[in-house]
Chain A
């Protein structure tokens, strides 16, 4: 089971969209940056989707400091491709930030990539 946490301004919307996708092996919960810091650190969660107005720093909150910038990526107001997200996941990124007005477009792309990465044997993070 892959556990995704949502945070920031649009966390309720993001969580709803993740649930509606209904992907196997994906569990979602609403959280915030400080709560997610604890869960991601201890391995109780695998991934964090943060949102703010610009999709930049505030979407990541304290997570840049706690997990390091290598584990965080922001798309800003851009909409990524699934293979782009997959590449980031393979590089160890766990925290994704994007803008609230891009939630509908960005959330499914990231979640499908996460499901793909964690579903494929050998790609699962140790």
Chain B
């Protein structure tokens, strides 16, 4: 096996596999996450959370809620979570927590949820390790090829604030922010060659976006014109009562949520888990500081969404505001991680009401957060597509590109049965299997490596 690509060097030597302590952490945490989902106290999928309100109030059945959760999650598990885990050798929340959402919601009994969650945890730790070593033995090794994904994901990801600024504040602001980020990247390469060059640029970009949004919101508050989105009205905000009820329910689950925070923080501290799309590659390389920065800025895109959906539904996120990821990566020891995770979740839950009220008065900030998430998806889409084609080239040359690119285009032409971000990695896996079959039929010779 030969290391190729930037992150390849660290991972391609074969992931050492998980230690016993790491395996137990994953299994126990999966059991806990499924338990929490069973009680509708927290789910990972932000899109599922709004549906939990109906379930909690008895207007929707457990089966219907579980079906919604499965329908929303399946594509992300097989299309994003699994290929990312295979290509990094590091676990991610889509692979670990989306199935525990479904398993917890589907279980009529708490013990069953915990048992199914633990079983899934075992599948994950043994499956990822097993699949990894199995595929490495195949004549066409598509997992090693998948490491081509790292370079485009890491470097394009740094640009996501620029896209968000351009979309929300126009072409000129976007271009200026882009120039700023480029200059900072070049400077960082020159001055601090050891750290990930995009991290300072990303920080600057996010600051520009948040600054512009706050400026617009505070400026708007001063004038009489409140814009079309939020007309000044004397009536009480209809979300207030709903949010109060949600905050109360969340506080009633505080001990359970603190336990969950402790577990997630411990998993991050074990350095076998990357919480974002890009951070897994950095964790695999051992760049925990870089991973912490990437996931911190990413969290800014998700906090408003998680806060409003949590307050509206009374159910929290399995990873909370996702700030637990960077905290976990950076902490030196497991006991500290357990304590920090629990305290962080407690603080987040207690501050939720305040966050909800603050966000209610800051429409541009809410909008900026949505733009950040959208920009993450856009940069990721291009990066993953590019990385997948590079992987196709690495495993099969021209014919590989034909198969993987062809499968991707076929998905587009047939109305995208597989979501866009997931389509290209799924095509690499399908193409890799197909190339191995062709090899056994003596119809294909692997590219010399």
List residues of A whose CB falls within 8 A of some B CB: 8-9, 29-35, 37-39, 41-42, 44, 52-54, 56-62, 64-66, 69, 76-77, 101
Contacts and interface: CB of A to CB of B under 8 A. Distances in A.
Given A34-B366, A37-B238, A53 B50 contact: no
Contacts, number: 110
Interface residues of B, number: 43
Interface string B355-385: 0000110010011001001100100000000
Contacts of B311: 62
Contacts of A69: 53-54, 59-60
B238 A66 contact: yes
A39 B54 CA distance: 23
A53 B238 CA distance: 26
A57 B239 contact: no
Interface stretch (B229-237, B264-272, B325-333): B229-237
Contacts of B305: 58
A61 B308 contact: yes
Contacts of B363: 32, 34-35
Given A8-B370, A77-B416, A62 B312 contact: yes
What's the dominant secondary structure at chain B's contact region?
A: helix
A62 B242 CA distance: 9
Given A38-B238, A58-B309, A64-B50, 16 more contacts: A9-B373, A29-B229, A31-B230, A32-B370, A34-B359, A34-B360, A38-B231, A38-B237, A52-B47, A53-B377, A56-B48, A58-B46, A64-B51, A65-B239, A101-B416, A101-B420
Contact of A56 (B47, B235, B370): B47
Which residue of A30, A37, A41, A64 has the most chain B CB atoms within 10 A of its CB atom?
Answer: A64
Cβ-closest 4 pairs across A and B: A57-B47, A57-B50, A65-B312, A56-B47
B312 A35 contact: no
Nearest to A31: B229
